[in-house]
Amino acid sequence: KDLSMGRALRHHSSSRRQSKERENNWLPKLTLENLLALLLVVAIICFVIISSLNSVVDLTVAVIPQTKETVRISNQKRKLEVLNAPLSKNANNNEGSKYHLVFSTGCSPFQDWQSYVFFYHVLKSGQEGSVTRIASCGDPDDAKALRKLHDEEIRVMSDRFYLHITPEYSRSIVPGKNYKYYNKPFGMLDFMQNVLKYPTEESKKHDDTIILLLDPDQMIVRPFTNDFSNSTEVWRPSKSKLPKRTKVEHGSPFAQQYGFGMQWKTKVNATYVANGPTRVENMDVDEARGHYVLGPPYIATARDMYKITEKWTEFCPRVHDQYPHLLAEMFAYCFAAAHLNLPHRVAQSFMVSDPGAGGEGWKLVGQMKKDVCTPPPDILPHVLHYCQRYMLGKWFMNKYRLRKDFISCEAPLLKEPPPDINSKFDYQITPEGERREFKMKTGPDRQAFMLCNVIPRLNQAAAYYKENHCNGNGFLNKTYTFHSTDDGLENDME
């Protein structure tokens, strides 16, 4: 028995030695034969993860299949990341501000001078909050030059003024089609995802921030707030049974009324735009007209603005498919808000723009009587949207005819109209010499209001530039006019 037990113990010990030898022999085999294969597997997994993240960040790939254009825009995005890195850090850390104003532009001298005017009047008006220009640049060299311009001319005004550069989206969303206003919704989504970090956990600290989205040619003259409880605002009359809210908060965005009526709904097929069922199909007229006929300024919490912007970018190409015109992106915003059941409180007095239009803040101008050139500040609209032609007598203003170097040391300032211009003229003369009679009694007062309030404010911004960047050599003479001669101006004023 003892002998048998001894043999068993020797056999067990021998088995353990053989097992240990097999383990020791296996380790070098793993290291030598499988290490490269293991590293290859890890590399493949990393590549898949990075590719997935890029496909989420690259907005255009989410909208259309991969094409040469989407590859181009993705490459742009990577090149521009270097330029945006300092801004994204600063803007994202600006948590103390309750308001964040944003406006979308291209990357051109035409929109550079408008942007300078925008930033200047935010400063002069006393508007609270941070301000970001979202610039969609197709060429990284242009983007680099714009970054330099912003740092030297805009950032020195205030450390709350930012620049966010995005790819140029106008030719890349739908291959073969060019619609420059794609830059607005897609640029906004780029900003919210890459600066405010939506929809990650990090974005939650921005949820309650009030986002104001404007256009570059909207000059702020009276500050915005998010509480209109005791304001002098003029609201759009509405038969809707929804509550008439007075404060911007979650579920309660605000915007300005525009004059396109129900076209945002009637010019498109709702099922096609939404790519399926949508509440817009059966929305009653009172709700559609009372809460969704709107445009910028848009005001919403950042959380709501992100929801809208996601759908805005999704719907905009399909709206443009069916309505390939200027206002397609605005219709897409209206559709997105309605689809999400985010009814806006619609103001008429946020803005004045078109002297012949209804639904704007002209009721405030009407209260000024003959003092349209020297208006009381408490009844001004918030924004002068100078996107039209303004004419009274031979006095004229049109942003498309203003010299592109208006904000410079060399360019003269604009000649300013007299304060009683509305009592001197009851007709218009175009720069081409055509005389026009007014069809509306309010025509002279409204034209005078825009001329008297836009031209001096353009001059104020240009003079500020000259005083701060021209070493005392800025040309400050107010001699620039849009007519070939000043004859009619002086003769008619006598």
pLDDT single digits (tens) 327-336: 999 999 999 9
- pLDDT score recorded for residue 128: 96
Intra-chain end-to-end CA distance of the chain, in Å: 138
Higher pLDDT, 387 or 45: 387
pLDDT at 47: 62
pLDDT exceeds 50 at position 436: yes
On the question of pLDDT at 34 being above 80, the answer is no
What's the pLDDT tens digit per position in 4-27?
444 443 444 444 444 444 444 444
- Answer yes or no: is pLDDT of 59 > 50: no
Residue 379 φ/ψ, nearest 5 degrees: -120, 20
Task: Taking residues 277-306, report their average pLDDT.
Answer: 97
Output the CA angle 103-457-372, nearest 5 degrees.
110
- Torsion region of 341: left, alpha or beta (phi above 0 gives left; psi -120 to 50 gives alpha): left
Strands 254-257 and 345-347: parallel
Per-residue model confidence (pLDDT) at position 97: 56
Q: Which range has the top average pLDDT, 57-66, 72-81, 220-229, 479-488?
A: 220-229
Nearest Cα residue to 393 out of 279, 296, 494, 475: 494
Query: Average pLDDT in the 86-96 region?
Result: 40
Q: What is the structure's pLDDT at 488? A: 52
- Read off the pLDDT band of 46 (50, 70, 90): low
**pTM, to two decimals:** 0.81
Q: Where are the alpha helices (DSSP H) in 301-361?
A: 302-322, 328-339
* Helix H or strand E segment including 462: helix 443-469
The mean pLDDT value for 456-483 works out to 96
The residue that leads in pLDDT, 199 or 20, is 199
Per-residue pLDDT at 90: 38
φ, ψ (nearest 5 deg) of residue 232? -100, 25
Residue 467 banded pLDDT, cuts 50, 70, 90: very high
pLDDT score for 35: 66
Q: Is the pLDDT of residue 54 over 50?
A: no
Q: Which is it for strands 478-480 and 413-414: parallel, antiparallel or unpaired?
A: parallel
Helix (DSSP H) and strand (DSSP E) numbers for the chain: 15, 16
Mean pLDDT of the chain: 85
**Considering the chain, what percentage of its residues have pLDDT values greater than 70?**
79
Q: Which among 425, 422, 407 has a CA at the least distance from the CA of 466?
A: 407
Query: How high is the pLDDT of residue 364?
Result: 93
Residue 242 CB: number of other CB atoms within 10 A? 12
Question: Can you give the pLDDT at residue 84?
Answer: 54
For residue 341, what pLDDT is reported? 98
The whole-angstrom separation of Cα 314 and Cα 71 is 19
pLDDT of residue 471: 95
Position 4 scores a pLDDT of 45
Asked whether residue 62 carries a pLDDT value surpassing 60, the answer given is no
